[in-house]
Structure 1
């Protein structure tokens, strides 16, 4: 399964110069008294400052999938920080544990904001990053996190959610959202209902947010992750990889970044 993901990553990055050299390493930072263990990826062949991108992990925690997405962004010319929203680099092997980790953060917006802001500050301070050019992307749990950070008014250029939850207890308020918003959703995802989609669109429009919602026919939850098929079968969950939706959403993300960082 890992080899399939790496093959997809190579195809998606094919437009990059062959001399691109990406390095990645773990980084420690603090949010209050909590040690957070992130992963930063940088393209060493690019001189000068460039936009930075935060990558927020799925409910499994900061695993290899989030790290690989950070490296793919570095191949495109960004400096990317895969963030740790659970603390101590914790990851889950079972949906029950993953759900507990995710709910602790989802139910505590001040905690989520503190941990996200700590990662944001670290990325902005990196010598390769233009501090005023920042975006955040997230997958599943991470998608819901970046949407909440946009709703909370964090001063970043844009956020993009991939198969993330749209529901919120803190709806966007008119004039409060600074980031432009993109949502990439599986049209057949049973975890995101039509009612939730309608409510999200109404929320965004009422708040005057610059947003775009994209549905991918035939795609369900975790459509960007090649490991989703195995996890879906193992835990009897509606998860499945969808190569076309993965490729199309990644291309749309690149176009989105070209718009917000020009």
Structure 2
């Protein structure tokens, strides 16, 4: 598993952010987001999902997704391995680490939190909110933000309602932002080339608004632990 680490200009122990890509794997989108986080002063680790730091073709990624969904321990195992590696970086403050993810990567972040991973904050962008471990919400240690398009067929209203009930029952500090008229993969400018507008569309406004919400949450979560 070969990820990419991004450093800010400032030295010394810094807050850090894990960045998990969509099911295609590490690529331009996740690396660009990690680079932007470094510009904000965080150490950012764009984690590898499939091995050798490679992205997959869409058919290969969908086939891999089916297997991963049937074996959630693979999802959480790879996420936890990335977290363990990031915590070993000398300039990382191990008490101030967040995890963000896009689509499948957001599901990884949420599942890690449900397993009690020591994360200050978790953010999922257009990620599925379902889980095979709903009782795990009581183990969530940090703040949670899910950013979802109202028209995303992969995250319908009943799934959002179930997630809300799960978070409320566990007493989690959570937020769910729903962007009206927005579809799946709204942060990824590459998705329009796939030609499936009924499922996935880039939306510049939702991309900008969700990123701003994430920045506010990270600032709040890390400041609370100073």
Same fold (TM over 0.5): yes
- Asked if the contact 1:86–1:105 (Cα under 8 Å) also holds between the matched residues in 2, the reply is no
After superposition, the C-alpha distances for 1:113-169 in whole angstroms (9 at most, x for unaligned) are 222122112111212211110000000111111111111111111100000011111
SS in structure 1 at match of 2:139: coil
Asked if structure 1 preserves the Cα contact closer than 8 Å seen for 2:150 and 2:156, the reply is no
Which residue of structure 2 aligns with residue 82 of structure 1? 46
Residues paired across the two proteins, number? 223
Say what the alpha-carbon RMSD is for the aligned residues.
1.5
Q: Is the 8 A contact 2:27 2:54 kept in 1?
A: no
SS at match of 1:182: strand
2:76 maps to: 113
Deviation at 1:244, TM superposition (A): 0.6
Cα distance in 2 between the residues matched to 1:47 and 1:117: 25
- Structure 1 residue 222: Cα displacement: 0.5
Counterpart residue number, 1:210? 173
The aligned counterpart of 1:239 is 200
Question: 1:49 — aligned with what?
Answer: 13
Query: In 2, distance between residues paired with 1:219 and 1:99?
Result: 22
Q: Which residue of 2 aligns with 1:259?
A: 220
Aligned to 2:142: 179
Q: 1:174 to 1:118 in 2, by over 3 A?
A: closer
1:58 partnered with 2:22: yes
Q: Is the 8 A contact 2:76 2:112 kept in 1?
A: yes
- Tell me what 2:56 maps to: 92
Query: What is the match of residue 200 of structure 1?
Result: 163
Aligned-pair distance for 1:236?
6.7
Q: Secondary structure at the residue paired with 1:66?
A: helix
Shift in Å, 1:170: 1.2
CA deviations 1:93-118 (Å, max 9, x no partner) are 22x31112223333223222222122
- After superposition, give the CA deviation of every residue in 1:176-222 in whole Å (9 maximum; x if it has no partner): 21121100001111221111111111111111111100001121101
Secondary structure in 2 matching 1:190: coil
2:92 aligned with 1:132: no
Larger radius of gyration: 1
Q: Is the 8 A contact 1:172 1:204 kept in 2?
A: no
- CA distance change for structure 1 residues 174 and 66 in 2, over 3 Å: closer, same or farther? closer
Conserved 8 A contact 1:54-1:135:
yes
Measured after TM superposition, the shift of residue 257 of structure 1 is: 0.5
Q: 5+ unaligned residues in a row in structure 2: which ranges? A: none
Partner of 1:38: 3
- Residues in 2 aligned to 1:171 and 1:133: alpha-carbon distance in whole angstroms: 25
Segments of 5+ residues of structure 1 without an aligned counterpart are 1-35
